[in-house]
Structures are given as C-alpha cells and as structure tokens.
A and B are shown apart, each in its own frame.
Chain A
Amino acid sequence: MPALDLPIAGAHRHKQPRVVGIDLGTTNSLVAYMDGDTPRVIPDEDGRRLLPSVVCFHADGSLTVGEAAKRRLTENAARTVYSVKRLMGRGLADVEAERCFLPYRLSEQHLDVVRIEIDGRLYSPPEVSACILKDLKRRAEAHLREPITQAVITVPAYFNDSQRQATRDAGRIAGLDVLRIVNEPTAACLAYGLHRAREGTVAVYDLGGGTFDISILKLQEGIFEVVATNGDTHLGGDDMDRRLAGCVLNEIRAAEGTDFADNPAFTEEVRIAAEIAKITLTDAEEAEIHLELPNGSLYYRTLLREEFEELAAPIVAQTLEPCRRALADAGLTPEEINEVILVGGATRVPLVRRRVEELFRKRPHSELNPDEVVALGAAVQAGILSGQVQGMLLLDVNPLSLGIETVGGAVEKIIPRNSTIPTGARQRFTTAVDGQISVDIHVLQGERELAKDNRSLARFQLRGIPPMPAGLPIIEVTFLIDENGLLTVTAREVRTSTEAHIEVKPSYGLTDAEVERMILESFEHAEEDVRVRQRVEAQTEADQVLAQAEKVLPLAAEFIAQGEMMEEERERIVQALEALRNVRQAEDAAVIRATLDEVEAVSRRFAERVLNHAVREAIAGKTLMEAARE
C-alpha cells in the first residue's frame, strides 16, 4: 500500500530531525550540515561563514554577538568577552596566568567556576558560549528553514571532563540537545576521510587560537580508530599574538616612557594589530604595524617574517613534545604515519608547516580550509548519528587517565589514557571502621602520581552501606566513560546487594540546578529567540502545506465532476491557500498559525476525500495485481 502521508494542515510528516555540527572555537565558531552526502558550512545572511566568538554585553541588558561585537572590542573592552573557551570548565586558579591578558573582569568570589563580571552581573563561561551557540542556531534555522534542536559540538581532544561538561551545559542553555561531544582533530579526520577510501595511519595536527591537539588515527574500512591523542589546552595562535604585542609594547615603552597599560582599549588595539601582522606574514615577507598612541604620537614599524618567526618559535616548539608523546603512546615512528592533516587557523603560519613537515618527514595536507574542516567533520558525525551517513564509525579515546585518590594522597589509575571509549572499570572498596555506613571517594583526571597534581573531577560519598564490622562490606563502584568522554558512576554493596547512594559534588562545573536556572534565565532574556523559532516553525509548516496542496488540488476538479464536491468548497480552499501564501512572510507566528488553522478548517473534507481516493486506488491496484498473479 502506498504511504498515505498527506501533510495537509495539521498532519505532520515523520522525519528524522536534522542534526547540525558546530565548531565552538576560541576565536571563531561555525555551523555546518550534511547537504545530501556533502558537508557544508552555513553562512549568515551576509554570506559570512565564520562567526567571531565574541559577545558584547551592553549596559541596557541587550547583547551583540560576532562581527558586530568584535568591532566593539577596542571601544568597549571591559564589557566585550572573547576567548571564553579558555575559561570553560575552569576554576579561578587555573586561569591565573592569563587573567592579565583579558580586558574583562573575573569575579574574585567565585573560585570553582570562573564568573565574568560586567556591570555587577555575573556570567559563567557556559552562558557566554550559549550566546554564541544561539546565534549559530538562528543562522542554521534561517538557512535551512526548519527549527534546529539537536547538534554535535566539537571540543579540543585534550579537554578534560569538566571542560566537556561545560560545553554540554552551554548547549543546553542555548536550547540545543547536544547529541555528541566530538574531538576536534577527530572531526577533521572524518571530513578528510569522508569520500576517500583511505587506509592507513593519519596524524592530525590542530593548532587553534587557544588550544593545541595532536591525534593519531588508524583508518580501515570506514572505521576511524583514534589510537593516541595528546595536547595542551593552553597553547595556540593567541599566544603568538601576545608575544608580538608584548614586543611592540616594549618598544613603545622604550620610546615614550610608558606602554599605556592603564588603557585597556589601547592594549586591545595593539593585540589586534599584532594578529593582523601575523596573518599578513602568512603570504608576505614583511608586515607594517601602524598605531596611534593615546598621547597622540605615532608608532610605526616594519616586521620581517624572520623577526616574527623568532617570536613564535618557542610556541611552535612547545607543540612538538606532545606530538612525540602521542607517537610513543601509539607505538609508531614518524615514518609509519602515512598522512598528516593540518587544522586550525594558526597552522597557516609558515613556520608551523615547516616544523610539522620536519617532524613527520612528509608534506602535510591542507586542501580543506583549516578554519572550516572541524565544523565539516562535526556535520559528518551528525550525519552518522542521524543515519544520513552510512558505513562510517568513529572510535575515539579518553585523553587523560582517570584515577581515584588512595590513602596518603596517591592516585590509583583505573582507566588509562588513550582507552577507546565508551569504556569502564570496576573497583572494590571497603570500610575502615566498624559500623561505617559511608565511604568518601575522590575522582581525578591526569597523569601525575599525586592526587594534588591532578585535576579533581568530583568528590562523592557512597552512602547506605549496611552497618558491618570494618573491612567486611564490599562496595563495588562502576565507572563508565560514555561515547562523549563523560563519566558516570554507580555503586553497589556486593554482600547485601544493596545499591549505595552516590552524592556527587563536581569540583569544577555547574550543578544541574544552576544549569536549569540559566536555561530559564536565558529564555527570559531571549523572548526574541522564542519568537524567531516559532516563526520559523510556522513558516516551515506553511511551506509544506502549500507544496502539498499544489500536488493534490488538481484532484478537486475530478471530485467536482463526480459530484462529490461543490465548486464553492474549492473556491474557499483556493482563497485560504492564497491568504496563507500572503502571510507566509509575516513576522508574527500567530498570524501564520491562524491562517494555517483556516486552511485546515476549510480543507478538512477535501483532505478526507483525497485520503479515501488514495485508499481506493491502492486497493484497486492490489486487486489488479492479485488478479494478474492468478
């Protein structure tokens, strides 16, 4: 029987909702989708593909995101947030070293989760990231003309659990169901491997604005297996800009007796000039830096590529050690790597290319735009999850070992780094005192021997242990790292088979309640979002109805000829459809909805007839076929 799927108003077609891929970057963010079997970046209305990861919070409570916010960086430095990715999932102590570079303020009161303070209001990094995600979401909805609620978001491979959780929280606050957190270098490899029957080992060197990752993958019959990953979450192209800006400021100080450190707008201007010079030196042998100083004098200098490379060399050198460690973990020599892929804007720097080529002894690939390849790969993974892309499977790893604190402050590793995820481990604990009914467990992430040198993930308490003599209870704790690299914990007392209660206090990160509150707040502050979404939904439905009507309306003539339908009824339907066509562009969803209801009311009987007609046809067809068989 043919599918009787008639999306005349009110009847919805069942379709897998589209999943988009998002690269939430330190400097720029992008959104991409699978157009058939090709991943494509979604541009904004002006055709721009990169969204600067910059959010400006205005005094009146409104905000600006992207290019417009970036333009305000110098005039509005203290209320414009950039590089928020460097703060994701971090505590105040973690970001001490770079606080001095940030023109915006961090609250002194919040030690566990960094808060940005603007006009006395506090913003957590996931909230700021959510502003960027919402903008990308709107961009995708406008382009694809359908509501977008599901996404795959990429993170640096070397992000720890807190940083991944913070990214997922940002998605939730932005109204996105984050189906998967994918590692950036792995995503890039997916984009490169999509239409090529590639086999062999691939190294992905990913130097972004603020993070560095190296991943080594084995490709075999559509399976992308990550064998080792390493990196540094605080190393990137930004550091080159800072070194260059520092050098310029030194020269200004030497000439003028001051570097105007009390003028954040000027410091910001110098940083931007440094970034522009770095980009110029990708193709040119020299770049010019012009600055008008706050005291009215001028600063001018020509920067040779060699001079810049001298400044950038220590940063590039720092990336090579993680590469060697990843090779060692993979048990491979540089010669055994078949291909090298470059990802991230900072890999445009010629010095980076030379050093990578020297290390792996082969010319790296850069056919795909290094700024876009991660988003394209995220779209591929989105396609795998929605069933749109077949035959590919990504097997990724956890970047850092997971351990628990033992007596004396040492760490016992229970899941080693570079284990394919999902994975898990079971660990048995017991009590130290007679009648003890709870046990405290401290979970850590990192490679160091002592608990204090590793990243604290969470402390939790196993409770509800039946009172027994010391050492008798056997508490079995199961640690499970899921396909997103996120940890879940369960516990059970083995002798009595009772489930123990676990109370988890994340060491760094928002609690569920905080995230819920932020989601609510974000909706209060973003009625606009809801309106846009409702409008897009209504418009999409209107388009479907109009398209379907065009297909079935010719049947009306047939029904009228057979006396089953009156000419006036058809007139009413045609008029209602005409009205729908006119209001389709309306700004207000309610107007479109009302017209859709009208169409549904006047066409209900016609729709029933179309349905009966289709059933009759189908039955007739079946009978004929049966007849033919006999």
Chain B
Amino acid sequence: MMDVVTEAKAVRVPSRRMWRCWACAEEVAATGEGTCPRCGKIQPLGAETDYFTALGLPRRMAIDRADLERRWHALSRRFHPDFYRTGEPRERIVALENTALLNRAYRALRDPIARAEYLVRLEEGAGTEIPSQPPQELFEEILEIQELLMDYRAAAPDERDARRPQLEARRQEIRREYERVERYLTQDLFPRWDPLSPEAAPSPTEKAVLLAEIKEAIGNRAYLRRVLNGLEEALSASGVD
C-alpha cells in the first residue's frame, strides 16, 4: 500500500537567496541554519539543493571522511523525523524530506567514486550519462573472456575443472586492471580537480578535458567491475552444480 504525499514547498521570495518561513512568513536566508530565526521552525532545504551545500561543504573532490560524518550526524540530530513526531503535518514533512536529502547526500559523498559521478552531473547536468565501456586497450582481451565464459557455462561439470585455471588467471588479470583504473581515478585525476575551482578561473577547455577523462575512467571501472562479477560468479558457482 502506498500513500500519496504532497511535497512541502517553500515559497520563493523574489530575491532568490531568501525564502519565507512556511510557519510565520519571516524571511529566511537560504544558506542559513535551516531554522527560522523568528519562530524557530525547521525550514525545507529544498529539493534543488545540491549535496555539498546540504552538508555545508565546498564543491571539492577532497573530503575529510570524519568531518563529513560529524556534519551528517549533527544535521540528523536537527532534522530527524523522530524529533518532530508530535509536530504539525507541515513540519513533519520538512523533517522527512530534509533527512531524506541529507541521507542521500551523505551516501553519495562518502564514497570517492560516487562523489566524482555526482560532481560530473553537477557540472554537466543531472541527465549526464556516464557510459560503462571497456578500456580501449583491453577490448580484444575482454571479447576473449566473454567467449571463455560462454564455453565454461556450456561445459559439462567434469570439463569445467579443466577450464578453471584459465578463468582464474583472467580473473586476476582483470582485477589488476580494475585496481589500476581505480588508482588512476583517485590518485591522478581527482587531485587535479580541486585546483580548478571557480576562484582559480580555469579555462573552460581545461575543465572539459579533465571531466571527459574522469567520465571515461569511471565508465571503464564500471565495465571492468561487471566483467569481474561475471568471472567471480562463474568460478564460485562451479563447485556447487
């Protein structure tokens, strides 16, 4: 059973940086503490708020995990629906939606890869696709693996044992590649992003080139993960049937 809920929408004040409090109509700064300075009621963070802003962080790749967690905990203590159970319906919706946003934000930002994907979409629009694709140089190798896997799955159980060492070797190879792409992302590409903050006035091409490289590496990693999963699944299932 599902219920239909209506979103609590803040009324936008013409100045755009200000909102009106849903409870007392006081003007509230959009970047404030999340509570109305006059009546103290919690304010909607707004569905359009990006994850960095929601957690009070600059748009950077480098994030201190402990600091991120502290911010998430503190904001959870402010907005969690548990503390507004007896509040008015509007207040409870604000608590629910704010907390849902914070939880999504924390989940996306705590993992470096998910954080990079989110940054790419912030830069290029929410609909940006990051296609999962094999690294150019591994194209033939991966074709071979797919064929090996197909034969392996079709083989009789007693024949499989003979083929295992071959698959095992490929699995280790792909795992090494996967780890290499991940290192390249986190140790080469990501550190190049933060110096390109708006204050540094980077050239548009510089930024676009880096974004394209990041997207490609994320796509490669996702592809290799899938191949690896396929190999691991086949190897672990073989013993059973």
Contacts and interface: CB of A to CB of B under 8 A. Distances in A.
Interface of A: 16, 165, 179, 220-221, 223, 384-385, 393-395, 419-426, 428, 458, 460, 478, 480-483, 487-490, 502, 504, 506, 509-512
Interface in B1-25: 1-7
Given A394-B82, A420-B106, A483 B1 contact: no
A420 B99 CA distance: 10
Contacts of A460: 2
Most B CB contacts (10 A, CB to CB) among A16, A421, A424, A460 go to: A424
A56 B91 CA distance: 44
Interface in B74-107: 76-77, 80-82, 85-86, 96-97, 99-101, 103-104, 106-107
A220 B73 contact: yes
Contacts of B1: 165, 458, 504, 506, 509-512
A488 B3 contact: yes
A488 B76 contact: no
B7 to A, nearest CB: 7
A149 to B, nearest CB: 14
A481 B80 CA distance: 14
A424 B7 contact: no
22 contacts: A179-B85, A220-B73, A223-B73, A223-B76, A393-B76, A394-B82, A421-B103, A422-B96, A423-B107, A424-B104, A460-B2, A478-B7, A480-B5, A480-B97, A480-B100, A481-B100, A482-B81, A483-B80, A488-B5, A489-B4, A502-B2, A510-B1
Given A223-B76, A385-B85, A490 B100 contact: no
Given A395-B103, A422-B96, A502-B2, 15 more contacts: A220-B73, A385-B82, A385-B85, A394-B82, A421-B100, A421-B103, A422-B81, A422-B100, A428-B127, A483-B80, A488-B3, A488-B5, A490-B5, A506-B1, A509-B1
A502 B4 contact: yes
Contact of B80 (A393, A426, A506, A511): A393
Dominant secondary structure at the A interface? strand
Contacts of B76: 223, 393, 395
Nearest to A392: B82
A420 B107 contact: yes
Contacts of B99: 422, 483
Most A CB contacts (10 A, CB to CB) among B7, B77, B99, B101 go to: B99
A613 to B, nearest CB: 33
A423 B103 contact: yes
Nearest to B93: A480
A425 B99 CA distance: 13
Nearest to B7: A490
A425 B97 CA distance: 11
A506 B82 contact: no
A489 B2 CA distance: 7
Contacts of A221: 73
Interface string B165-200: 000000000000000000000000000000000000
Contacts of B5: 480, 488, 490
Given A221-B73, A420-B103, A422-B99, A483 B6 contact: no
Q: Which 4 A-B pairs have the closest CB atoms?
A: A420-B103, A422-B100, A424-B100, A504-B2
A188 to B, nearest CB: 18
A221 B7 CA distance: 32
Contacts of A394: 82
Contacts of B77: 223, 393
A428 B127 CA distance: 10
Most B CB contacts (10 A, CB to CB) among A221, A223, A506, A509 go to: A223
A458 B96 contact: no
Contacts of A487: 2
A482 B107 contact: no
A393 B3 CA distance: 26
B111 to A, nearest CB: 10
A506 B81 contact: no
A487 to B, nearest CB: 6
B35 to A, nearest CB: 18
B104 A423 contact: yes
Contacts of A478: 7
Interface in B101-121: 101, 103-104, 106-107
Contacts of A458: 1-2
Contacts of A511: 1
B240 to A, nearest CB: 12
A478 B76 CA distance: 21
Contacts of A384: 82
A511 B97 CA distance: 26
A489 B7 CA distance: 11
Contacts of A419: 103-104, 107
A487 B86 CA distance: 21
Interface string B198-212: 000000000000000
A426 B81 CA distance: 21
A422 B7 contact: no
Contacts of A506: 1-2
A509 B1 CA distance: 7
A512 B2 CA distance: 10
Contacts of B81: 422, 482-483
A568 to B, nearest CB: 46
Contact of A480 (B80, B85, B96, B106): B96
B4 to A, nearest CB: 6
A422 B103 contact: yes
A545 B85 CA distance: 30
A112 to B, nearest CB: 12
